[in-house]
Structure 1
Amino acid sequence: MTTSTEPQAGNAVNFNLDELNQRFETAHPQEILAWCVENIPTGFVQTSAFNVDDVMITDILYRQLQPAQPVPVIFLDTLYHFPQTLELVAKAKELYNLDLRVYKTPEVNTREAFADRYGEALWDKDIEQFHHLTKIEPLNRGLDELNTVAWITGRRRDQAVTRANMPVFELDKQQRLKVNPLAAWTRKQTWDYVAKHKMIYNPLHDQGYPSIGDEPITTPVADGEDERAGRWRGSGKTECGIHI
C-alpha cells in the first residue's frame, strides 16, 4: 500500500488507512466527508437505512457540502420496513432531492410475494438467509452497479460493544474503502446536530426505537439497554451481516 494519504482517483487500495485514521480520529464528521468528496470524485456512495445517524450524514452531504456531483444514496427495500421508515425515505428524497438508489430482493415486490417464494416468517426459520436475500445480496449488487470505490456507513462506536474499536476508515472484503464518519461521534452529538439543524428523522426514535430495522424483528429498547438491543432480540445476533 502506498504511503501517500491522497489516493489516485478511483483506486481505493492507494489509501493509507493508518495515516487517514490518525489524521481524522478527532475530526468532525463534516470534515471527514468533505475530504472524501474532494478526494473521491467518482464511485463514492452512501448506504442508508434512514436511521437518525444516516440522515445526519445525508444532511451534511446534501445541505452542508453540496458537491457538484450528488452522492448516490443506496436504500435496501427489504419489504419489511416500518411504514414510518418508508414515509421518511420519501420525505428525505423530496427535501434533499436525493440521488436515491433503491435495491431489493429480485422478482418480489410485496411481503406476500416474498413469503410465497421463501416461506412465511423466514427470519424465524433462517435469519442468515433472510438477511442475505434482503440486505447482503442487494447491497453488493448496488455497490457493484455503481462502480463503488468508497461507501459511507452511519455506524458509531457507542452503538454496541461489537463496534467499540471501529476505525473511521477501513477496507471491505472487496478492497473498497469503507468510511465511518460517525465512528468517534456519540448519540448525544447526533441529536444535538438534529436540534441545531432542525433535521427530519423517523418518529419511531421518539417511541423507544433508537435503532430501527425491519418491523417484524425490531422492538423498543428499555432504559439501560444497548442501543441496538431491540434488533433481532433473542437471536444472539449483533449484526445483519453487512458489516461483518
Structure 2
Amino acid sequence: MLDGSLDDRAALLNDRYKHHAATEVLRRALNDPDLGRVTLVSSFGSESVVLLHMVSFVAPGTPVLFIDTQMLFPETLDYQLEVSEKLKLTNVQVVRALDSEVALNDPDGTLHQFSTDSCCDLRKTIPLERELGKFDAWITGRKRFQGGERQELQFFEAEPPARLRINPLAHWRKEDVQDYMAENNLPRHPLVAKGYASIGCAPCTSPVKPGEDPRAGRWRGSQKTECGIHFIGGKMVRAGANS
C-alpha cells in the first residue's frame, strides 16, 4: 500500500480518482492494492440500495457489514433479505453485539429509554468497530448535499488511526440518488412510503412531516443526531440525511 500518513494517502487517492464517476471509483477502489482490504457498511436503509446495487455488478463478493441492533424494524430485516437475494450479494455479514455484552449492559432492553448514546454504543459502535478492525478501508454512502462537514467531502478520507473511508457518492445530488433507483428499478424500503425518510431502530425512529429535515424522525425530542459510528476520535464527521 501507499507509504505516508493517512491524510497523505487519501490526498494521493483523491488526485488519482478525481475525474472518475461513482461507479468507476467503486470499481477501481475494490481492486486497488493501495487500499488493501475493503468492506461496505450498509444499514439497508432508505438510500442504501444504490451502493449495494453498484457493488452487486462490480464485485458481488465484497464483504457487506449489516449492523443488526436487534431493535430494528421487522421491515428492515425483511428488506435486507429481499435486497441481498435480488442483487445476489454473496457476502453479507450480520454484525451484532455479543449476547454477553447485551446481558450485562441491557438485560431488559430498556437502555435506549434513559441513555440513547449508551444503547447505540453497545449495539452499533462497538460491534462495528470489532469487525472493521479486519479491514483497511470501508465504503460509505455519504454525500456533499447532506450538508454540515460533508460539503467538502472527497472520494477518500482518513479515519485515524489506521483506516480510510471511501465515499463514491460524494458528488451526487439528491436527484441523482432518486433517479438511479428509478432507472434501475431498485426495491424501496417499505417504510419510505409510510413517511420514514431516515430509518434506524424502531424505538428511536418516527415518520417525518412534509418540510422537515429527513433526520427529524431520528431520536425525536432530543439533541442527539448521530449514533456514534459516524465519529472519529469523538468528533462527528457525518451529518445530514440518512447517514
Question: TM-score normalised to the size of structure 1?
Answer: 0.83
Residue among 69, 76, 98 paired with 1:106: 98
CA–CA separation in structure 2 for the residues paired with 1:78 and 1:116: 14
Stretches (4+) displaced over 6 A: 113-116
Q: Contact (CA 8 Å) 1:54, 1:153: kept in 2 or not?
A: no
The answer for the alignment partner of 2:50 in structure 1 is: 56
State the percentage of identical aligned residues: 34
Residue among 30, 34, 51 paired with 2:27: 34
1:151 aligns with 2:138: yes
Q: Contact (CA 8 Å) 1:12, 1:175: kept in 2 or not?
A: no
The answer for the alignment partner of 2:115 in structure 1 is: 126
The answer for the alignment partner of 1:3 in structure 2 is: none
Give the CA RMSD over aligned residues. 2.7
Larger % of helix: which? 1
| SS of residue in 1 equivalent to 2:213 | coil
The answer for the alignment partner of 2:204 in structure 1 is: 217
Quote the offset at 1:189 in angstroms: 0.8
1:223–1:130 CA distance, 2 compared to 1 (3 A) = same
Cα deviation per residue 1:102-124 (whole Å; 9 max; x = unaligned)?
Answer: 11110179xxx769944443122
More divergent stretch after superposition (172-181 vs 23-32)? 23-32
Quote the offset at 1:162 in angstroms: 4.7
Task: List gaps (5 residues or longer) in structure 1.
Answer: 1-6
The answer for the alignment partner of 2:124 in structure 1 is: 135
Q: Which amino acid aligns with 2:127?
A: P
Q: Which amino acid aligns with 1:243?
A: H
Q: Which amino acid aligns with 2:224?
A: K
Task: List gaps (5 residues or longer) in structure 2.
Answer: 232-243
The answer for the alignment partner of 1:195 in structure 2 is: 182
CA–CA separation in structure 2 for the residues paired with 1:118 and 1:162: 36
Q: Contact (CA 8 Å) 2:7, 2:158: kept in 1 or not?
A: no
